[in-house]
Amino acid sequence: MRLSEILGANVLRASALAACAAVAISGYAFSKEVENVPLPATFDPDLSNLSAIIISQTRSPANRPHDLYEHPIMMFQFMEIQARDTVIEILSTDDYWAQMIGLITARGGKYVQTIDPSNQTAMADFTKLKNDSAVEHIVDYDVVALNADQLAPDNSVDIVFMSRKMGTLMRSAVLSKLLAAEYKVLKPGGVLVVEDYRAAGDKPQDPKAANDYIREDFAVTTIQAAGFKLATKEDNLLANVKDTRTKAGPNSDRFLAQIHQVTCEVA
């Protein structure tokens, strides 16, 4: 998919949702109720609004240099994120995305960071970061321990964001289980956004992904085996043709895919 297409009309998710328009879905909340503030039905993903998110004072100075590698404006365009969405990030390792998505969804949706339940230090640190942001800025999100058996109530999530986590999940032998859980919590037509280190296609996939690199075809096949359907992918936004693939890092070659939950239930 070309960047010009990302910046054009975002119709993929709308088409998937239209196919499931008859479905009635209950609301979602991990903690407090959302303040009843009038908002547009969607967050208009134009460059001026997205730029306001990027330069917002909700963001820490330490996170801003990563924009060079993460391209958040284009990422939000690719996600087709909306203000009233419920978004879950799988195994967050920092608050880079939380400080931006937590602002987009602060008054109409919900953003949830899931943390490795075995890492109590990370849980405490992330909770403090969240509380500090909530006090100092208009940011609202939750920090919860990852539960691969039940990420959230079924059919309650609009977007699941899995950023560079397939290798970790493969080594923990929970990838298939988590993909099944993600499928269950997504609303019909909901979106799984996957971004990960791209392995070379001339070697078999390491089943433990020891260096964290994942073959793109392996990722798509594995995720579709859980019932998802590939909608589109972006091969250039996070690409780095000079990547030697010796060590995964911020400037590594990465792939990006939007994959849909395709179950439609008639009420």
pLDDT digits (tens, 9 = 90+) for 31-45: 333 233 333 344 344
Q: What is the pLDDT of residues 148-192, one digit of tens each?
A: 888 999 999 999 999 999 999 999 999 999 999 999 999 999 999
**Residue 58: which of 146, 140, 172, 168 has the closest Cα?**
140
> What pLDDT sits at residue 30?
29
**pLDDT value of position 38:** 36
* CA distance linking residue 173 with residue 95, whole number of Å: 25
Which pLDDT value is given to residue 76? Answer: 92
Of residues 23 and 245, which shows the higher confidence score?
245
Q: Which of 47-61, 130-144, 171-185, 228-242 has the lowest mean pLDDT?
A: 130-144
Whole-number pLDDT of residue 201: 92
pTM value? Answer: 0.80
| pLDDT at 9 > cutoff 70 | no
Show the tokens assigned to 97.
């995305």
Instruction: Decide which of 76 and 42 is more confident.
Output: 76
Strand runs labelled E in 60-156: 86-89, 110-115, 142-145
Confidence category of residue 138, pLDDT binned at 50, 70, 90:
low
Q: Give the position of tokens 């303040």.
A: 35
In angstroms, rounded to a whole number, what is the distance separating the alpha carbons of residues 155 and 189?
10
Residues 214 and 208: their CA atoms lie apart, in Å, by 10
CB count in 10 Å sphere of residue 137: 16
Cα 126 from Cα 93, distance rounded (Å): 9
**Higher confidence at residue 12 or residue 61?**
61
pLDDT for residue 222 is more than 50: yes
53 contacts: CB under 8 Å, gap ≥ 6: 72, 76, 100, 103, 104
Over residues 104-124, mean pLDDT: 81
Separation CA 64–CA 140 (nearest Å): 19
Q: What Cα–Cα distance (Å) separates residue 200 from each residue in 3, 32, 112, 169, 196?
A: 23, 45, 32, 20, 13
Query: What is the chain's Cα-based Rg?
Result: 18
Q: Which fold has domain 3-25+39-260?
A: Rossmann fold (3.40.50)
pLDDT of residue 24: 29
Average pLDDT along the chain? 79
Instruction: State yes or no: pLDDT of 225 exceeds 60.
Output: yes
